[in-house]
Amino acid sequence: MPDLPTLRPALAGEPALDSTTIALQALPEGHLLQIMGATERAVVEAAIAAAGLEGSDVREAGYRQWYVVGDKQLSSKTLRELTSALPAGTFLSDQSHGRVRIRLSGPHATKLLSTGTAVDLHDAAFPEGRSAITLFGHLSVHLTRKSAAGFELIVLRSFAEALYEELHAHAA
Amino acid sequence: MSSHRLSTGGQIDRARSVKFTFDGKALTGHPGDTLASALLANGIQLVGRSFKYHRPRGILTAGAAEPNALVTTGTGGRTEANTRATMIELHDGLNARSQNRWPSLGFDIGAVNGLLSPFLSAGFYYKTFMWPAGFWEKVYEPLIRKAAGLGKASYEADPDSYEKCWAHCDLLVIGAGPSGLAAALTAGRAGARVLLADEGFAFGGTLLTDRDARLSAMLAELEALPNVQCLPRTTVIGWYDDNVFGAVERVQKHVAEPDPGQPVERLWRIIAKQAILASGAEERPLVFGGNDIPGVMMAGAMRSYLNRQAVAPGKRVAVFTTNNAGYRTAADLEAAGVDVAAIVDPRATNEPGWNGKAKVLTNACIVDALGGKSVSGVSIAGASGVQRFEADAVAMSGGWSPVIHLACHRGAKPVWSDTHAAFLAPERQEGLSLAGAAAGLWSTEACLSDGSRKAAEALQLLGFAKVEPAFAEADAAQPAATPFWFAKGSKGKAFVDYQNDVNLKDLGLAVREGYGDVELAKRYTTNGMATDQGKLSNINAIGILAEARGVSPADVGTTTFRPFYTPVSFGALTGASRGKHFQPVRKSPLHDWAKKNGATFVETGLWYRAAWFPRAGETTWRESVDREVLNIRKNAGICDVSTLGKIEIFGRDAATFLDRVYCNGFAKLPVGKARYGIMLREDGMIYDDGTTSRFSDDHFFMTTTTALAAGVLTHLEFCAQTLWPELEVHFASSTDQWAQMAVAGPKSRAILSEIVDEDISDAAFPFMSARTVSLFGGKLEGRLFRISFSGELAYELGVPAGYGESVADAIMQTGEKHGICAYGAEALGVMRIEKGHVTHAEINGTVTPGDLGFGRMVSTTKPDFIGKVMLAREGMQASDRPRLVGVKPLDPKASFRTGSHILSDGAAATLENDQGYVTSSCYSPNLGHTIGLALIKNGPERIGEKVMIWNGLRNEFTDGVICSPVFIDPENEKLHA
Report the gap between the CA of A160 and the closest CA in chain B (Å). 8
| Chain A residues near residue B651 by CB distance under 8 angstroms | 37, 89, 91
Residue A133 CA to residue B512 CA, distance in Å, equals: 60
* ipTM tops the 0.95 cut: yes
Q: Do A93 and B732 touch (CB under 8 A)?
A: yes
Residue among A97, A128, A102, A103 nearest A32 (CA) = A97
**Which of B583, B730, B736 comes nearest A158 by C-beta?**
B736
- Residue ranges of chain B whose pLDDT lies below 50: 1
Question: Per-residue pLDDT averaged across A32-61, rounded?
Answer: 92
Q: What is the pLDDT of residue B114?
A: 76
**How far is residue B599's CA from residue B606's CA, in Å, rounded to a whole number?**
17
Return all residues near B599 (Cβ < 8 A) that are at least 6 apart: B610, B611, B612, B613, B822, B824
> Could you give the 3-state DSSP secondary structure of residue B939?
helix
Round to whole Å and give the CA distance between B220 and B743.
72
Report the C-alpha gap between B375 and B370 in whole angstroms.
6
| Cross-chain residue pair B165–A91, CB shorter than 8 Å | no
Backbone angles phi, psi at B186, to 5 degrees: -60, -50
First to last CA, chain A: 46
Residue among B262, B722, B737, B807 with most chain A CBs within 10 A, to mutate: B737
Mind telling me how many Å the CA of A5 is from chain B's nearest CA?
A: 5
Contact criterion met (CB < 8 Å) for B736 and A29: no
Percent of chain B with pLDDT over 90: 91
| A98:B738 CB<8 A | yes
| Mode of pairing for the β-strands spanning B234-240 and B244-250 | antiparallel
Beta strands in B94-159 (DSSP E): 94-97
CA–CA dist B972, B706 (Å, integer): 26
Q: What is the mean pLDDT of chain A?
A: 94
Q: What angle do CA B389, B391, B396 make, to 5 degrees?
A: 95
Q: For A61, phi and psi rounded to 5 degrees?
A: -140, 40
| CB-CB under 8 Å, B585 with A118 | no
The shortest CB-CB distance from B166 to any of A65, A95, A118 is to A118
- What's the rounded Cα separation, in Å, for the pair B835 and B828? 11
Residues of chain A with Cβ-Cβ distance to B580 below 8 Å are: 165
Chain A residues closer than 8 Å to B802 by CB: 7-10, 29, 97
Vertex A76: Cα angle to A71 and A81 (nearest 5): 90
Predicted local distance difference test score (pLDDT) of residue B140: 73
- Strands B94-97 and B162-174 turn out to be unpaired
Which residues of chain B have a CB within 8 Å of the CB of A167? none
> CB A90: neighbour CB atoms within 10 A?
20
Contact of B397 with B298, CB cutoff 8 Å: yes
- The pLDDT, as a whole number, for residue B137 is 75
CATH architecture, domain defined by A17-28+98-171:
2-Layer Sandwich (3.30)
Cβ neighbourhood burial of B954 (10 Å; 0-12, 13-18, 19+) = exposed
pLDDT digits (tens, 9 = 90+) for B874-931: 999 998 999 999 999 999 999 999 999 999 999 999 999 999 999 999 999 999 999 9
Q: What beta strand segments (E) does chain A contain?
A: 17-18, 23-26, 31-36, 57-60, 65-70, 91-94, 99-105, 131-136, 139-147, 150-156
Q: CA–CA separation, B306 vs B314, rounded Å? A: 11
pLDDT tens-place string over residues B915-954: 999 999 999 999 999 999 999 999 999 999 999 999 999 9
* Alpha-carbon distances, residue B437 vs B132, B472, B533, B654 (angstroms): 52, 17, 20, 62
Q: What Cα–Cα distance (Å) separates residue B448 from each residue in B184, B454, B473?
A: 11, 10, 9
Cβ-nearest to B576 among A36, A76, A170:
A170
Reported as type and span, the H/E element at residue B748 is: helix B748-753
CB contact (8 A) between residue A98 and residue B737: yes
- B192/B497 Cα distance (integer angstroms): 42
Q: Which pLDDT score is estimated for B948?
A: 98
β-bridge mates for residue B770, sequence order: B785
Nearest CA of chain B to the CA of A37: how many Å?
A: 7
Contacts of B167 in chain A (CB under 8 A): 114
Give the closest-approach CA distance of A161 to chain B in angstroms: 8
Q: Are strands B607-612 and B600-604 parallel, antiparallel or unpaired?
A: antiparallel
Min Cα distance A31 → chain B (Å) is: 12
CB B399 within 8 A of CB B421: yes
**Residues sharing a CB contact under 8 Å with residue B274, sequence separation 6 or more, in sequence order:** B170, B171, B172, B243, B431, B432, B433, B458, B459, B461, B462
- Please state, in angstroms and rounded to a whole number, the distance separating the CA atoms of residues B802 and B780: 12
Cβ neighbours of residue A107 closer than 8 Å, sequence gap 6 or more: A20, A21, A149
Residue B147 pLDDT: 65
Q: Does residue B530 come out as left (phi exceeding 0), alpha (psi in the -120 to 50 range) or beta?
A: left
B738: which chain A residues are within 8 Å (Cβ-Cβ)?
A: 97-98
Q: Which residue of B has its CA nearest to A112?
A: B165
Q: How far is A49 from chain B (nearest CA, A)?
A: 23
**Which H or E run contains B40?**
helix B35-41
Q: Is the pLDDT of residue A52 over 90?
A: no
What CATH number does domain A31-94 carry, 3.40.50.10190, 3.30.70.3400, 3.40.718.10, 1.20.120.450? Answer: 3.30.70.3400
**B974 in Cβ contact with B767 (< 8 Å):** no
Considering only CB atoms, B736 lies closest to which of A1, A98, A139, namely A98
**Which of A21, A92, A97, A122 would you mutate first to test chain B, the one with the most B CBs within 10 A?**
A97
Closest residue of chain A to B727, computed from CA coordinates? A89
Question: With contact defined as beta carbons under 8 Å apart, do B50 and B70 qualify?
Answer: no
Length of chain B as a residue count: 977
Number of inter-chain CB pairs under 8 A, A vs B: 146
pLDDT 10s digits, A88-144: 999 999 999 999 999 999 999 999 999 999 999 999 999 999 999 999 999 999 999
In whole angstroms, give the CA distance from residue B181 to residue B223.
11
DSSP string computed for A51-68: TT-TTPEEEE-STTEEEE
* A154 vs B120: CA distance, rounded Å: 63
Residues A114, B735: C-beta atoms closer than 8 Å: no
**Are A95 and B776 within 8 A, CB to CB?**
no
Contact call for residues B808 and B739 (beta carbons, < 8 A): yes
From A137, which residue of chain B is nearest by alpha-carbon distance? B577
Q: Where are the domains of chain A?
A: 17-28+98-171, 31-94
Q: Which chain B positions have a beta carbon within 8 Å of A29's beta carbon?
A: 802
Closest residue, chain A, to B585 (C-alpha)? A162
Residues in CB range of B842: below 8 A, 6 or more apart: B852, B884, B919, B920, B933, B935
Q: Which residues contact B581 (CB under 8 A, 6 or more apart)?
A: A165, A166, A169
Is residue A32 within 8 A of residue A10, CB to CB? The reply is no
Interface touch A7/B735, C-beta < 8 Å: no
Facing B732 at nearest CB: one of A8, A36, A122: A36
Q: Do A29 and B193 touch (CB under 8 A)?
A: no
